[in-house]
Amino acid sequence: MCLHIAKGQAYFNVIIEDTLVNVIEGIEQVDDGYILNGYTINNGDYIIVNKKVDLEGNLIWRKTIERPGFNLYGGRERSFFKLAQGGFALAGSINTDTTFDKTMLFVFNENMDTLYTKIYNIPDYMNFAFGGIQTNDGGFALTGTGRNLTDFNIIDCLLLKTDSLGELLWYNTYGGTGSDNSLYVVQSTENGFILGAYTLSFNNTTWPGDQYIIKTDSLGNEQWGNNYGNVSYDDGAVMDLIRTSDNNYIYVASKNYYHAISDDYSDERGRIIKFNNQGQTIWDKIYREYNDFYEPHDSSTSNFYGIEEGDDGKLAVLCGVTKLDNSFYSKLYILNSEGDSLYTLELVPPDGYNYVANEVNIIRKTSDGGFIIGGKIYNFLQFPPEKTWLIKTDCNGFYGSPEANFSYSKDSLTITLTNHSVFADSCIWDFGDGYQELAGIHQTITHTYADSGYYSVQLISYSSCNADITDEKVEIIGVLLSGVDNSVQEDEIKIYPVPANDFIVVEFNPSNRIEIMDMQGKLLCNLVSEKSAEMIDISEFRSGSYVVNIYHDERLLFSRNIIVQK
C-alpha cells in the first residue's frame, strides 16, 4: 500500500482483502473515510455488501444485507448516493427464482444500518432500477428498465419519482419499439430529469444499439430524446452521466469504427459528448488508444467507464483498454473543460498481487479536491477471483510521489531538455549558470549558455496539488564552444578500474589537465600532468557518481562519469 498526505491532499493505492467476492458499484466519502457499496453471492443468492474504509484505505467494517431465497441487487455506479440530511440510499431490485424483478429502494443511516426499504410494484411491468438520486424536494428519482409482462418484447426505460419517505408519486416509461434501458439519472436545471440509456429501437440493423439521452419535465413528461450512434453497428450504452458546473451535461461511452483487418466494427474508441438542456451537442470528442506492438490501424480498443468534474473544471475520465491479445488494463484521462486531453496515466495495482486483468468503473470527487477511484483485479485461479481495488488521487489524478527524470541533447552551447517526470505537472529548471525557469511538465526546454564548461542542471518536479512534496534530478552537463577540437576518440583515453574504490588510473596523451567534480559541481581534484598515465588517490571520496573532465590548453576534450563504490 502507498499512502501520502500533504496539505490535505491524500493518495493511496490499495487492494481490499476479503473472503467474499469483492465487487463494488458505489463509493461515498465520509469524514473519516469512505463507504463502499457492492455485492457478492452467498449460498446462491445475491446479497448487498457495504464496507467502510478509513482515510488510508484500510477496511474498518463490513455489513451485508440479505433475504434468504431472494436476490438483492444494487444498480450501476451512481445507484448509491449520499443524502442531504445524512445517511445514504441505494436504488436496486429484488427477485426470486419464481418471481419477477421489482424495483427496490434501500435507505441507510450514517453507519449503513437500514432505516427502511421500499419495493415498487409497477402494474404490468417487471422492473428494476439501475440508477438513482435524491431530488431537490428531498424525494427520490429512480431509473431503470420496465419489461411488459403481457409482451416481453416491449422493454422500456423507466423513471419513478417518490416523496421524501420513498412513497411512490408517479412513474413513466420511455422508448421505441425495441429494447430500451435507462442506466443513469441527473436532475436538470429546470427540476426535470436527464436519463442516460441504451436503446435498440432506432436502427433497424443487425447491431442497432445506440446511446440514448431522454429529457423530461418535473412530472416525468418526455420533452425530447436523442440517440447517438451509427446505423451500421452497435455503439453501446451510456456509461456515466453528470451535470457540469456550467449547467450542461456530459456522458461517456464508446464509439465503434470499421476494422479493416478483422473486417468488422471492433475498433472501439472512448467517446465523450457534452450537451445542453435542449439536447444540442456542444462538443463530441473521440479518444483512441494505440497498441504498442501493431500498426496504428491495429489499435487497442478502449471504452470510457466513468467521469467526474474537478474543482478547477478539468474532467477526470476512467478508461478501460483491451489489447489485441485480450489483455486488459486501466487508464485515467485528464481533460480540460473543452474535452481536450491534457495527459493520461496508467492505473497500476499495488505490488504483491497476482492478477490477470484489472478494471476501474467508479470515480468520485473528494472534499480535498482529489478523486477516489474504485474497481477490481481478476485472477480466476484464486478465491475470491475478484478483489476490490481502491485508489485515492490528488487533484491532478496522481496517486504516487513525484519522480523527476529528464533527458537532454547538446548543440554547441545550447542544450535541449525533455522532461520524463511522473506524478508531477509542474517543474523548476535550474541550469547551473544562475538562470532558472518554471515550466509545465510536458514542455521541452531549450537553454543557451554564455560560455563552455560543465554545469549542474537540476530538475525539481512536483504536483501543483502537493507543492511541498518534490523530487529532483541533477545532471552535470558539459557544453563546448563551436570550433573546439573534438577529435579525441573514446579509446584514446582510458579510466579504470570500474567501479573505482581508493584510486583511479587515467591514461591519455601528456600535457593535459584532469578535473574531478561531484554531481553537485564541486571541484574535488585539479591536476596538471605531463605523464601518459596518472594514478589519482580517491580514497576520501564517498560512494557515488563523479565526473572526470580532461582539458588541453584549457579546452575541454573529454568527459566521463565514474562510479566510486566503497
Give the pLDDT of residue 158.
97
Distances in Å between the Cα of 89 and the Cα atoms of 105, 106, 113, 142, 374 are 7, 5, 11, 11, 19
Strand, coil or helix: 298 = helix
Render pLDDT for 326-342 as a digit per residue (tens, 0 to 9): 678 899 999 999 999 99
Strand, coil or helix: 491 = helix
Higher pLDDT pick, 143 / 266:
143
Higher pLDDT pick, 264 / 147:
147
Q: How confident is the model at residue 347 (pLDDT cuts 50, 70, 90)?
A: very high
Give the pLDDT of residue 93.
96
Render pLDDT for 371-390 as a digit per residue (tens, 0 to 9): 999 999 988 777 778 899 99
User: What CATH class is the domain 490-564?
Assistant: mainly beta
Q: Quick one: average pLDDT of 225-241?
A: 85
Q: How confident is the model at residue 266 (pLDDT cuts 50, 70, 90)?
A: low
Residue with cell 488510508: 56
Give the pLDDT of residue 313.
93
Strand, coil or helix: 444 = strand
Give the pLDDT of residue 41.
86
Q: How confident is the model at residue 223 (pLDDT cuts 50, 70, 90)?
A: very high
Per-residue three-class SS string for 179-225: EEEEEEEEECCCCCEEEEEEECCCCCCCCCCEEEEEEECCCCCEEEE
Q: Quick one: average pLDDT of 252-281?
A: 80
User: What CATH class is the domain 406-479?
Assistant: mainly beta
Give the pLDDT of residue 63.
95
Query: Exposed/middle/buried for 478, CB within 10 Å: 0-12, 13-18, 19+?
Result: middle
Mean pLDDT lowest for which of 90-104, 471-485, 518-532, 540-554? 471-485
Contact 90, 106 (CB under 8 A): yes
Q: Quick one: average pLDDT of 454-467?
A: 88
Instruction: Return the C-alpha cell found at 183.
Output: 442506466
Higher pLDDT pick, 126 / 8:
126
| CA–CA distance, 282 with 284 (Å, rounded to integer) | 7
Give the pLDDT of residue 481.
58
Render pLDDT for 37-75 as a digit per residue (tens, 0 to 9): 999 888 888 999 999 999 999 999 999 999 888 999 999
Is the pLDDT at 228 greater than 80? The verdict is: yes
Give the pLDDT of residue 290.
60
Mean pLDDT lowest for which of 8-22, 49-63, 426-440? 8-22
Is the pLDDT at 297 greater than 60? The verdict is: no
Give the pLDDT of residue 144.
97
Q: How confident is the model at residue 508 (pLDDT cuts 50, 70, 90)?
A: confident
Q: How confident is the model at residue 357 (pLDDT cuts 50, 70, 90)?
A: confident
Distances in Å between the Cα of 96 and the Cα atoms of 71, 73, 74, 152, 491 are 6, 11, 15, 18, 81
Mean pLDDT lowest for which of 254-258, 346-350, 400-404? 254-258
Q: How confident is the model at residue 182 (pLDDT cuts 50, 70, 90)?
A: very high
Q: How confident is the model at residue 361 (pLDDT cuts 50, 70, 90)?
A: very high
Is the pLDDT at 449 greater than 80? The verdict is: yes
Amino acid identity of 390?
L
Average pLDDT of the residues of the chain: 87
Residue with cell 431490485: 93
Give the pLDDT of residue 548.
87
Higher pLDDT pick, 332 / 508:
332
Q: How confident is the model at residue 296 (pLDDT cuts 50, 70, 90)?
A: very low
Give the pLDDT of residue 293.
42
Give the pLDDT of residue 295.
43
Is the pLDDT at 430 greater than 90? The verdict is: yes
Contact 273, 228 (CB under 8 A): yes
Hey, which of 216-230, 285-299, 433-447, 496-510 has the most confident mean pLDDT? 216-230
Give the pLDDT of residue 372.
98
Mean pLDDT lowest for which of 89-98, 158-167, 219-228, 313-322? 89-98
Give the pLDDT of residue 330.
92
Q: Do domains 406-479 and 490-564 have the same CATH topology?
A: yes
Domain boundaries, the chain: 406-479, 490-564
Q: Quick one: average pLDDT of 522-527?
A: 90
| CA–CA distance, 515 with 455 (Å, rounded to integer) | 14
Instruction: Return the C-alpha cell found at 327.
Output: 489483455
E strand or H helix at 162, and its extent?
Answer: strand 155-162
Give the pLDDT of residue 454.
77
Residues of the chain with pLDDT > 90, as a percent, come to 54
Residue with cell 496522481: 398
Distances in Å between the Cα of 370 and the Cα atoms of 23, 25, 363, 425 are 23, 19, 10, 14
CB atoms within 10 A of CB 346: 11
